[in-house]
Amino acid sequence: MWRGEGASCSDLVSPLLPVAGCHRLSHQLCYIRPATGLLERRRRLGPPAKESYSGHDIGSENFPWGTTTQRAAISATSPISCCVPTRPKGKMAGPRAWAFSFLVLELTSVLGRQTMLTQSVRRVQPMLPQSVRRVQPRKRTSTSFAKPDDSLERSLRRDTESIWSPWSPWSKCSAACGHTGVQTRTRTCLSETVSLCSEATEEGQLCVSQPCTACDLTCPMGQVNADCDACMCQDFMLHGAVSLPGGTPAPGATVYLLTKTPKMLTRTDSSGRFQVPGLCPDGKSILKITKAKFAPIVVTMPKTSLKSATINAEFVRAEMPYIVMNPVTKARRVGQSVSLCCKATGKPSPDKYFWYHNNTLLDPSLYKHESKLVLRNLQQDQTGEYFCKAQSDAGAVKSQVAQLIVIAHDEIPCNPTPESYLIRLPHDCFQNATNSFYYDVGRCPVKTCAGQQDNGIRCRDAVENCCGISKTEEREIQCSGYTLPTKVASACSCQRCAETRSIVRGRVSAADNGEPMRFGHVYMGSNRVSMTGYKGTFTLHVPQDTERLVLTFVDRLQKFVNTTKVLPFNKKGSAVFHEIKMLRQKEPITLEAMETNIIPLGEVVGEDPMAELEIPSKSFYRQNGEPFTGKVKASVTFLDPRNISMATAAQSDLNFINDEGDTFPLRTYGMFSVDFRDEATSESLNAGKVKVHLDSTQVKMPEHVPAMKLWSLNPDTGLWEEEGDFKFESQRRNKREERTFLVGNMEIRERRLFNLDVPESRRCFIKVRAYRSEKFLPSEQIQGVVVSVINLEPRTGFSSNPRAWGRFDSVITGPNGACLPAFCDDQSPDAYSVYVLASLSGEELEAVESSPKFNPNAIGVPQPYLNKLKYRRTDHEDPRVKKTAFQISMAKPRPNSAEESNGPIYAFENLRACEEAPPSAAHFRFYQIEGDRYDYNTVPFNEDDPMSWTEDYLAWWPKPMEFRACYIKVKIVGPLEVNVRSRNMGGTHRQTVGKLYGIRDVKSTRDRDQPNVSSACLEFKCSGMLYDQDRVDRTLVKVIPQGSCHRASVNSMLHEYLVNHLPLAVNNDTSEYTMLAPLDPLGHNYGIYTVTDQDPRTAKEIALGRCFDGTSDGSSRIMKSNVGVALTFNCAERQVGRQSAFQYLQSTPARSPATGTAQGRASSTRQQPASRGGLRRRGGVDPLRFSGVSQQPLSD
């Protein structure tokens, strides 16, 4: 046995033993340690004294050191020269390339003990690692060693154990089957004193690998090759032709034969062709053809009896893996089972899946790495975060994180005590007990809980359980002269989740002037899912399993550039409205295909272009690969980051997937779309060998220059994929050119949208919340608000002037606000800044003012951090500017600063802290303008969150997946605008008769053409089935205008309908109108407008648009008072001191339905946070919302 460096022994000088195959610098001094009898080594520094020999076998006649007897006469007291053999350069491994070490040890007396001469010969593989030096056979033959004194041995063992770590296990034998190799083990010195660490750190020994098995491969034709992994036919020739997409030859592609280890056979030539001799046409052998940026091609050898065959293959562009199914959050009890699923697509398809628990890779020996992770007999320590990583030859991608909650058998899945939830009461309902206009009705936070499950193990549970209200109490709120009924949550439990549906609505228009894209197509992947209308609006029901909504908007008239957007949506249900801005396509120019063409990329007047597109001569070719030599009709549209007004037209969400599968943001220096066509036939053309010259002076941040890359957009995933790097141009293109350019190469084939981008790692999150009023109550937060952020370049004087935008992002507010990604810097607070804006259904919300009042409590951020962020609303310096956005500096919070650790800026790694921050933590705020519409529901319901729906007979919306909105149009003749109320009570259902559903108030809107006429579109509760779907209820609706009004007329068709559909409500009071609401969806001819939708807000807005327009299928923002009217009232100015209708209702007992009013409590108003609107302010024209519909509590 040999030992490594550091063995303590006398330095003895002796002649060197030449060893076959040794390198001259690899010689070692070998010696015997008397105490142990082990063969050890010490490295000799420098070359040996004499030249080593190679190419000779020990013991042969050619060995230059004489006979075996002469070699055995070497003194045993001399160190032996030994080495690691090296493979002779340029020679194949063969019998004469093996090295043999010959060690002769003479019998000698050591401490009175006798040691027998041992001779061993070892055979070592070529190219043995340098760390492996000396070996001894595992099995000694005819060898005996003298045993040291027992006390000395015990002493040495104790010393060794205290200084050295235990020996590691023996390594695997290095030889192939049936051959002799080497295995080693190591140990570490534990002492800090160097002198005590002089013993061996490494040991080695000879080993014989497992016996070889006979080759069991059988060939139907030909013979088995030497490696026993393929069949070879000497007289067969395979020919092949490989092309790129479109038919262009694919030079430099590599052809492999797939065996146990893929074997490279050849590469394609300049014409994309190859030939391989010796393969067998057995119909079983598989070839793999690869080329960078393309998905590998796998083909099977053709089966033929001929002496040759030809295969043709065409590459498709490689696509990074893309997650199409994420694992979902689930809850279980101890001992139950759960399945978490993950699915990805790509080219090639992902073939490996890895699962992680709390960022730790799960053991493959315990959990199969497949797309479905099954966990049985769950324990509580398995609670946590799970995600998967899918991998293919093209790259990797990580899924979203899913939470797994595992609770004990006896643990309650939901907190039975409701949390606080305040609602706003009417203006005449002040509560002395709380000294406010608010009342706590409680709520149960909607979250996944461990409920009853069947035995099936599915990716998505058959029944999803959520915490919800299980019990309510009816209470009466004492107001000024009347009582107001309400339902208060008293208990929560785990129950079946309410069914919801996610909807995306929007409007598509030009970024420059707002021109709508009429009758355009909306694609999701390759499927057309919607179409824009005359005004550019569209509606889309999001498929249930959609994780990332990627839509492409295509203008059939080719006025606009095809635009791909990644739109956030509410996965818990409800509708989200998006304004889609598109670039207008540039007018085409004519290019000569046989000439070099230069196209500038830049849109700022008076500034140099950001970049130039150089298309060399003879670069165009047709889709079939045929060169094109005619005239080219070219349209190149550039999105210039120096024009901030174009930021909203940015394509996609500027993200890419890195090699580890993580999503990272990009900072753009410009996007451009290209459209090349044959001028004669309009056939789309491709272009190869295109160069992009980027002006380096336009890159204001020096660290971005070496990181600049060229990217192309994958329209199916909405992700950017790398096309190539930029390098400094080696020489100037002309003598007068003073600018320095970065040049990148690209080909224009199936993708037509490109980006000049830099990956950016300095990231933070901004906490933003939206409210229904300036009171900023947590219970009045609005969900479904689209909050957008525009990242700007550094401030003037830092490193960039003029400033430019670099990124545009949007997120959706949830029950706890939203966290917006943005670039930040921890060195300089002014390094980055952002604009933040918010909109709801096309209405722009207002930011908190910064001038003349600067109130940190209103803004939501305390000092001194607020000053560091430099908060400014857009009208800070010019009051004429809209108040709908604010600007801040992205000063990254310091980790050791207490005042900066609680928001509103969070470091990227603290996303969870941002998402879970309580309303008391610092955040920025938007709010709706106080309006003149006011809603009250007896059973509280948040229209922003359909999952807050509660099963109750008095619920305003009886079905959570079907929301039916009803409006009646009321015309007011008089000099003033009048508040109009609808009081809605149960009319014919035994469970609800005489009980209040809710109240709606709205202020009439002045007619533009008639000074003494105004009209109101008033919501009422539709008649129909209640939640139990047992029988219908004809809602008793009372319409009451405020002031001195009397009923002038009733729509004749409406009156006739009500007469023919009994019972008929009595109308003895001319100051109001009472009806049992119709069951049928009447139209504008009756003055009734009914719309059913899967989102309550959408249904109400469509019905409002029709009511304003006075039609059954139109929409308008302008009130048309003379068409589609149901009721007309004449209203005069009320005399001073005269009692109003509302005062009369408060002081007069309620009457029964038979006399025209429902029994029960007098009506009042109450804030319904999810349905109160405001005066609408828009960035563009929206046909479904109207500035005239204002909403605010009625006053006497």
SS (H, E, C) 912-943: HHHHCCCCCCCCEEEECCCCECEEEECCCCCC
Tracing tokens 């295995």 back to the chain, one arrives at 183
Residue 1058 · residue 1035 · CB < 8 Å: no
Give the per-residue pLDDT at 735: 52
Three-class SS of residue 163? helix
Determine the Cα–Cα distance for residues 888 and 867; give it in Å rounded to an integer.
10
User: Token pair for residue 977?
Assistant: 């605008």
Residue 939 · residue 487 · CB < 8 Å: yes
Determine the Cα–Cα distance for residues 758 and 711; give it in Å rounded to an integer.
10
Tracing tokens 């013979």 back to the chain, one arrives at 223
Residue 987 · residue 1022 · CB < 8 Å: no
Give the per-residue pLDDT at 733: 56
* Best CA proximity match to 342, nearest among 285, 388, 294: 388
Determine the Cα–Cα distance for residues 656 and 757; give it in Å rounded to an integer.
11
Residue 414 · residue 446 · CB < 8 Å: no
Helices (H), 44-128: 68-72
Q: How far is residue 916 from each of residues 303, 838, 891, measured CA to CA in Å?
A: 63, 21, 21
Determine the Cα–Cα distance for residues 887 and 870; give it in Å rounded to an integer.
8
What is the identity of the amino acid at 76? A
CA angle 693/694/696 to nearest 5° reads 135
Does the bond joining 702 to the residue before it have cis omega, within 30 degrees of 0? no
Determine the Cα–Cα distance for residues 241 and 250; give it in Å rounded to an integer.
8
Residue 982 · residue 969 · CB < 8 Å: no
Three-class SS of residue 804? coil
Beta-bridge partners for 269: none
* Best CA proximity match to 558, nearest among 786, 328, 752: 752
User: Which residues, 6 or more positions from 1176, have their beta carbon under 8 angstroms from its beta carbon?
Assistant: 842, 843, 1182, 1185, 1186, 1187, 1189
Q: Are strands 1073-1076 and 1036-1041 parallel, antiparallel or unpaired?
A: antiparallel
If the chain, 1196 residues long, is cut into consecutive pieces of 10 residues, what is the mean pLDDT of each piece?
39 34 36 40 39 36 36 36 39 36 32 33 36 37 41 53 82 80 87 77 84 78 84 91 86 91 91 92 91 90 91 90 91 91 91 91 79 90 93 90 91 91 80 86 87 78 87 88 86 86 90 91 91 90 86 92 91 85 91 92 82 90 87 91 87 87 87 90 88 83 82 89 83 60 80 79 90 86 90 56 72 92 82 89 88 90 91 87 89 86 90 91 88 82 77 87 90 90 91 90 88 92 88 93 90 93 88 93 93 85 90 85 94 60 45 36 34 36 32 33
Beta-bridge partners for 597: 615
* Best CA proximity match to 835, nearest among 801, 793, 791: 791
* Best CA proximity match to 938, nearest among 1018, 1035, 1028, 841: 1035
Query: Global pTM?
Result: 0.69
Residue 938 · residue 486 · CB < 8 Å: yes
User: Token pair for residue 755?
Assistant: 């980006």
